[in-house]
Amino acid sequence: MTSNTITTNIKAGDYVTFPYRHNTSLQLTGYIVTVLEHTSMVDISEMESFFQLGIDGRQVVRYE
């Protein structure tokens, strides 16, 4: 399984850009909702195109 990577110095409310796990050429941008030990929940619903892409408005992003 490929993991998405983002910086580990993040907190709730920060905006991040990360590759979509099913298509790494697609870059998603959203804000951190929850920070856990090696994952974060990112809300991408503010992106104008997220609905047209047919993906969930919240994405789990794994980082090391």
Residue 34 has pLDDT above 70, yes or no: yes
Q: What is the identity of the amino acid at 22?
A: H
pLDDT above 70 as % of the chain: 88
Task: Give 19's pLDDT tier (boundaries 50, 70, 90).
Answer: very high
Provide the whole-model pTM: 0.76
d(CA 49, CA 64): 28
Q: How confident is the model at residue 27 (pLDDT cuts 50, 70, 90)?
A: very high
Asked whether the predicted pLDDT for residue 4 surpasses 60, the reply is no
- The total of other beta-carbon atoms located within 10 Å of residue 36's CB is 10
- Position 15 confidence tier, pLDDT thresholds 50, 70, 90: very high
